[in-house]
Structure 1
Amino acid sequence: MSDHPRKSNFSIEPFKNPVILDPGYADKTWKMLEHGIRNILNNNYDGLSFEVLHRNAYNMALHRFGEKLYSGLVTTLTRHLQEVSASIEAARDDQFLEELNRRWLEHDKALTVIRDLLAPMDTTYVSESHKSPVLRLGLDLWRDNVIHSKEIQARLPDALLRIIQRERMGEVIIRDSVKNTKMLMTYLEPSLYEKDFEKPFLDDSAIFYAGESQVLIECCDCREYLKMVERRLREEKERASHYLADRTEPKVLSIVEEEMIAKHMRRLVHMDSGLVSMLLRDEYEDLGRMYSLLRRCTGGVSTIRDLMTSHLRETGKQLVTDAASSRNPVDLVQRLLDKKDKYDKIITGVFGDDKTFQTAVSTSFEYFINLNSRSPEFISLYVDDTLRKASEGDGGKDVEIVLHKAMTLFRYLQEKDVFEKYHKQNLANRLLSGRAVSDDAERSLIVKLRVECGHNYTSKLEEMLTDVKFSQDIMRGFYASQGVDEEAGEGPTLAAQVLTGAIWPSRPSTACKLPDEIHDVCEKFRAYYLGSHACRKLTWQTDLGTADVVATFGNGQKHELNVSTSQMCVLVLFNSADRLSCKDIQQATAMPLPDLKRCLWSLACVPDMNVLCKNPTNNVIAEDDVFCVNDNFTSNLFQVKIDTAAAEEESESEQQEIRQKVEEARKDQIDAAIIRVMKAQRVLNLNSLVTEVAKQLQPRVLPDPAVIKKRVESLIEREYLEDNKNQYQYIA
């Protein structure tokens, strides 16, 4: 048996005596509740006892009068909202939205109170009967009796659109009216906002901005128009954030973009005050505004890019093909670099570093730079001028930065082999005249060229620098063998450069008889050098040399004249003669007459540099002219550099000669490329062969396909290739 006491089961039974209600209880109670609800709806709370009203609502729900309570509420709300609808319909246009919002706020507040009052009905009858709760019921009845009223439904969109139109025209409005109306429509029925307001609003916006854009495009310049578009977009975005639905913002902004930008962008960009004017005036802020606005529309960026490219190509073409610009190649290249810097700045700072713009600028520069066949020469002269000025102590330019920029233009050249010829010649002149800024700077440039074009392109340039360094070692050895201090020795001092003939640019040598004292030193050096390099041959090229001559003039003033070797030979003659004719000088120096005339012209006819006097005094050198030392020569500088005048005819012939040499070398390069391709492929058609050869030669030159075809025909004639019905085969 268990020790635990037995548990007894019991239950509470319902009260057996039912409560008997007055037959008129429900009607009496509802009339009391109805009176209270109507007062609440009319915002009249005087004399109301919410405790009594709540108890009555509770008792009706408890005694199963929920249906009567619910239907009575519907009737009361409907009758009240019909009165509200009539009141709103009677409001004037300027008071319509305010009246609608005022009555809605009163209704919303009353619904909250009524919901709390009838909460017992919500938890019993409404839940069991699957009816709409009190709050939802009140909203639905507002929608059906007020918002869906024919007159209100017709007036509401127009009222909203009118007030928005007034704001667009600059009038200050009460935004809360629009905001509350929008929230009301969205709150009651999401589709109501889209159907009754959003679509008419967007249609009205399209009409408004189409008209405004047409007026503005006729009376404003491009800058003013773009500022107005920017302002309108900002206003619509702000307007949408204040009182429109989130989904409406992109739609209305799209309309502004379409009507104010897309439909007029070509006209805007091509206006006299448009893109070209902004580029010419460096109006970067306006360019940025144009780019940011037009990029919103399909084709906007390409419209800007196409006109910019066209303008850049046209101005670049005018610059490189202008005869006046070509007479000053250094200035021409500097202007090209300035133009490149300008467009790089625009692309980086204005066009968002857009790669398509970078490509457009690069292709444009490549286009117009190669319109001038002398562009490789001009760029080489610019590089030469930069390095020469740096060697003279011009601190206005950072050499490395300038060379980096010059290499940008170099990349656009299609005839890099022509640049190589001129650069090689200029490098030779710098090295031989001592004008190289530094070995590091020269080698840095060579490294840049090697990166672009490969080792074969720069191998001879590097060997030229090696020759100069080797020559310095040779000269130290020479003076050591003579037992003479190179710097403190008496008499003429020689600084010879021993150059490898196959590496350095070949050029015709100008004959010149050296003074005896110089000739003796040269012969000693020849003997020294050939003593250790017996199988080599030395050929003196006096036209490449320079000399420092100390001259004493009639007033006792001394100057150190930096002159060419030819000029030195002329000046030394006046140590033993007071007056010499042009014929006498030619006999003594054995110089060709044209070269001698240029030499004498630079010594006697250049203002402030005329160390010689000429009779007769004119700017033309004749064989019978007589020269003497200018005893009255003065200069503020102790060291005076005297340049030799260049012969224009000779310069043109040199250009033709360089071009011919390049063309001949190019034939060999094309032949070699064809052979390499055919050895690898064995059989190719003409188009494929031309493509492959052009790809191999691209680092040095971009040859004409017709030239490649001629070289193929030449190789066929020489039996390197065989033509088998347009299929070329390599003959092993």
Structure 2
Amino acid sequence: MSDHPRKSNFTIEPFKNPVILDPGYADKTWEMLEHGIRKILNNNYDGLSFEVLHRNAYNMALHGFGEKLYSGLVTTLTRHLQEQVSASIEAAGDDQFLEELNRRWLEHDKALTVIRDLVALMDTTYVSESHKTPVLSLGLDLWRDNVIHSKEIQARLPRALLRILQRERMGEVIIRDSVKNTKTLIMYLEPSSYQKDFEKPFLDDSAIFYAGESQVLMERCHCGEYLQMVERRLREEKERASHYLDDSTEPKIISIVEEEMIAKHMRSLVHMDSGLVSMLLRDEYEDLGRMYSLLRRCAGGVSTIRDLVTSHLRETGKQLVTDAASSRNPVDLVRRLLDTKDKYDRIIAGVFGDDKTFQTAVSTSFEYFINLNSRSAEFISLYVDDTLRKASEEAGGKEDVEIVLHKVMALFRYLQEKDVFEKYHKQHLANRLLSGRAVSDDAERSLIAKLGVECGNNFTSKLEQMLTDIKFSQGIIRGFYASQGVDEEAGEGPILAAQVLTGAIWPTRPSTACKLPDEMHDVCEKFRAYYLGSHGCRKLTWQTDLGTADVAATFGNGQKHELNVSTCQMCVLVLFNSADRLSCKDIQQATAIPLPDLKRCLWSLACVPDMNVLCKNPMNDDIAEDDVFCVNDNFTSNSFQVKIDTAAAEESSESEQQEIRQKAEEVRKHQIDAAIIRVMKAQRVLNLDGLVAEVAKQLRPRVLPDPAVIKRRIESLIEREYLEDNRNQYQYIA
């Protein structure tokens, strides 16, 4: 017998007898439900029993009256929306239209949620089985069909939205939530209606508004004010779109503002009196940046700005470099060019966002106008010379010289005749080194290194050798005095400080003959003997016109000064140690200085106010052979050391310029010939255009020759049988 109790099986069966309902049950129940639903739709919950309503709706669905419940709900909702909601919204004034629409929608949405809960069983059984629209979706569809698509509301809604947006654009404060909620409602119910009924009219209306506003602003405002207004409008539209318009609308409305306020007035803005040129002249960088950031939004905006910047810079630079007054002060001219370059570099970096196209435009503009002046290479070299000389005299000048040289190299890169600059720089470097006015060996070598980077070592090899000669000369002088057993600083008598220069390296110039005083002549001969004793195969030629001398002078009043003079001036002054009065003719016989040079020397000693260590009889500015000179015993100066410059020869600078250019052009011919031969050796056969282009490319680091000059050199090489011309196909003759 089992200990487990026996299990019994049982089932629950339906009632044997169906529930018999009152024939009027459905009508009576629906009548009660309809009354409650109407109160819910009217937001009136007084006296309602949700438990009773829910039970009745449940029983109707349970006993098969789902169709009656569903159709009654549709009828009740439709009548309520048509007779109360639509009528209420249509009756609202323009200012309250959107608020009333949103208020009614919120009430309807809330009522739908309550009604759905009441008829939940119908929603899950009858609706699903009959493939009807669920209650919530049904309420939305009925709202759309009976309210939004109401003829009057459908016509008024876009106008109301546009009107309120227009008021905000005009500066009024609006209730943004009304617009936002309306937009959300439209997008929720029918997205296509938003684009068709609102967005398109909104964009069309905006285009008209901004077209009119831009025209008025263009007539009333200067460029800076207009740009600020455009910036403000873009900011407002972006904020407006993000707050209560659809995300897809933002790029469209921004595009309309750009088109109507920027693109259509782009050229007028840039070229107006208060436009781009005025901003450049007045350094209005904030407005420049605003113009760039706005115009770059539109096709062709950046090129419009760049073209005017280029034309303005070229015109300004052309006036600067071709102005006769500017050319008379080359140092100031180059300084102004550097200031202009600094200004545009700052604009490109700070305003135009380091735009490479602007950098290229500025570079080509500088290259254009700098090379309009054939003396630009000379002027840049003069500026470098002036900078280095001043830096050697001023305290702390060496600290800034590297910055200046870096800026100068920017101008140097634009030169097409870099070989001419080399000639002038070589001359100026020689003068600095021989006069002891170089800022430092490091600064000079730094500049040479920068030139080498730009043009190659061949460009700077002679310049480096000049510095080497100066250092070598210092050792030679120390060795000379050591061999004489004399302290060069404490020794008695004349002290020689000679510079031994390599003749083929240093710039050549006509030498002025000068007979040295006997005591100086003896020292020079001793130095010659010493130098040739260790360098017997070399030859020394004295260049007295390049030398200077420090002369200790005592005047009649007992006042002592140290006079820094040229070697020729020293030779003249020493004569007055043994004579009280000398004529120009006597001085010329004693010194052997050519008469034109002697007259300039005497003029600087006797005719310059505050520097007249000699007296002249008769007292005038003309030097004649019979004029008599004597020491000015009344000479005084506040400085112990007095520097007396020699007057420059008339038109010497012009003849020097011609000579330097002729030498540069002569060297250039050989460089072009060598480049042609190099190209033809590599190519063997080449047409004219290809040969000219390749030669220009090779020579560009030093010079940009005229194609006509290259063609003449090609013809010269053909005549000398280096090349052969076969119907414009040039062939190298090995």
For 1:93, what is the secondary structure of its paired residue?
coil
Structure 1: gaps spanning 5 or more residues: none
Task: Decide whether aligned partners of structure 1 residues 53 and 396 sit closer, same or farther in structure 2, where only a CA change above 3 A counts.
Answer: farther
Q: TM-score, normalised by structure 2?
A: 0.97
Task: Between 661-670 and 209-218, report the one with greater CA deviation.
Answer: 209-218
Task: Between 379-388 and 126-135, report the one with greater CA deviation.
Answer: 126-135
| Post-superposition CA distance 1:426-482 (Å, at most 9, x none) | 111111111111111111111100100011001111111111111111111111110
Deviation at 1:614, TM superposition (A): 2.5
Q: Give the 5 Å matches for 1:340-355.
A: 340-355=341-356
Distance 2:664 2:707 in 1: 17
Is the CA contact 2:606–2:616 (under 8 Å) kept in the aligned structure 1?
Answer: yes
Distance 2:81 2:667 in 1: 100
Match of 1:478 in 2: 480
For 1:684, what is the secondary structure of its paired residue?
strand
Distance 1:439 1:496 in 2: 18
The yes-or-no answer on 1:361 pairing with 2:362 is yes
The ranges of structure 1 where at least 4 consecutive aligned residues each deviate by more than 6 angstroms after the TM superposition are 1-9
Distance 1:73 1:653 in 2: 112
Is the CA contact 2:722–2:733 (under 8 Å) kept in the aligned structure 1?
Answer: yes
Distance 1:648 1:286 in 2: 52
Deviation at 1:221, TM superposition (A): 1.1
Distance 1:2 1:688 in 2: 118
Task: Between 25-34 and 689-698, report the one with greater CA deviation.
Answer: 25-34
Distance 2:2 2:51 in 1: 56
Task: Decide whether aligned partners of structure 1 residues 32 and 373 sit closer, same or farther in structure 2, where only a CA change above 3 A counts.
Answer: same
What RMSD over aligned residues (CA atoms) do the two structures have, in Å?
Answer: 1.7
Distance 2:10 2:666 in 1: 124
Distance 1:294 1:694 in 2: 39
| Post-superposition CA distance 1:574-608 (Å, at most 9, x none) | 21222222222222211122212222222222232
Match of 1:487 in 2: 489
Task: Decide whether aligned partners of structure 1 residues 523 and 25 sit closer, same or farther in structure 2, where only a CA change above 3 A counts.
Answer: same
Task: Decide whether aligned partners of structure 1 residues 121 and 643 sit closer, same or farther in structure 2, where only a CA change above 3 A counts.
Answer: farther
Deviation at 1:394, TM superposition (A): 4.8
For 2:193, what is the secondary structure of its paired residue?
helix
Q: Aligned residues, how many?
A: 732
For 1:648, what is the secondary structure of its paired residue?
coil
Task: Decide whether aligned partners of structure 1 residues 489 and 74 sit closer, same or farther in structure 2, where only a CA change above 3 A counts.
Answer: same
Deviation at 1:647, TM superposition (A): 2.0
Distance 2:36 2:261 in 1: 57
Match of 1:466 in 2: 468
Task: Decide whether aligned partners of structure 1 residues 506 and 31 sit closer, same or farther in structure 2, where only a CA change above 3 A counts.
Answer: same
Task: Between 300-309 and 161-170, report the one with greater CA deviation.
Answer: 161-170
Distance 1:271 1:580 in 2: 73
Task: Decide whether aligned partners of structure 1 residues 651 and 32 sit closer, same or farther in structure 2, where only a CA change above 3 A counts.
Answer: same
Distance 2:6 2:621 in 1: 147
| Post-superposition CA distance 1:634-677 (Å, at most 9, x none) | 22222222222222411111100000000000000000000000
Distance 2:76 2:214 in 1: 53
Task: Between 114-123 and 436-445, report the one with greater CA deviation.
Answer: 114-123
Task: Decide whether aligned partners of structure 1 residues 70 and 546 sit closer, same or farther in structure 2, where only a CA change above 3 A counts.
Answer: same
Deviation at 1:371, TM superposition (A): 0.3
Distance 2:619 2:32 in 1: 133
Task: Decide whether aligned partners of structure 1 residues 617 and 136 sit closer, same or farther in structure 2, where only a CA change above 3 A counts.
Answer: farther
Identity %: 91
Deviation at 1:49, TM superposition (A): 1.1
Is the CA contact 2:390–2:397 (under 8 Å) kept in the aligned structure 1?
Answer: no
Distance 2:430 2:224 in 1: 54
| Post-superposition CA distance 1:286-324 (Å, at most 9, x none) | 111111111111111111110010000000000001111
Task: Between 341-350 and 99-108, report the one with greater CA deviation.
Answer: 99-108
Deviation at 1:628, TM superposition (A): 2.2
For 2:397, what is the secondary structure of its paired residue?
coil
Deviation at 1:402, TM superposition (A): 0.2
Deviation at 1:392, TM superposition (A): 1.1
Distance 1:15 1:579 in 2: 160
Task: Between 112-121 and 79-88, report the one with greater CA deviation.
Answer: 112-121
| Post-superposition CA distance 1:524-556 (Å, at most 9, x none) | 000000111111100000111111111112222
Q: TM-score, normalised by structure 1?
A: 0.97
For 1:263, what is the secondary structure of its paired residue?
helix
Deviation at 1:80, TM superposition (A): 0.6
Match of 2:58 in 1: 58
Distance 2:570 2:132 in 1: 120
| Post-superposition CA distance 1:389-413 (Å, at most 9, x none) | 1111253570000000000000000
Deviation at 1:6, TM superposition (A): 9.3
| Post-superposition CA distance 1:103-144 (Å, at most 9, x none) | 112212222222222222222222233322222111111111
The yes-or-no answer on 1:607 pairing with 2:609 is yes
Deviation at 1:354, TM superposition (A): 0.7
Distance 1:181 1:102 in 2: 10
Deviation at 1:228, TM superposition (A): 1.2
Match of 2:291 in 1: 290
Distance 1:622 1:4 in 2: 158
Distance 1:376 1:524 in 2: 42
Match of 2:30 in 1: 30
Distance 2:10 2:302 in 1: 88
Task: Decide whether aligned partners of structure 1 residues 275 and 2 sit closer, same or farther in structure 2, where only a CA change above 3 A counts.
Answer: farther
Distance 1:118 1:405 in 2: 86
Task: Decide whether aligned partners of structure 1 residues 9 and 669 sit closer, same or farther in structure 2, where only a CA change above 3 A counts.
Answer: farther
Task: Decide whether aligned partners of structure 1 residues 380 and 249 sit closer, same or farther in structure 2, where only a CA change above 3 A counts.
Answer: same
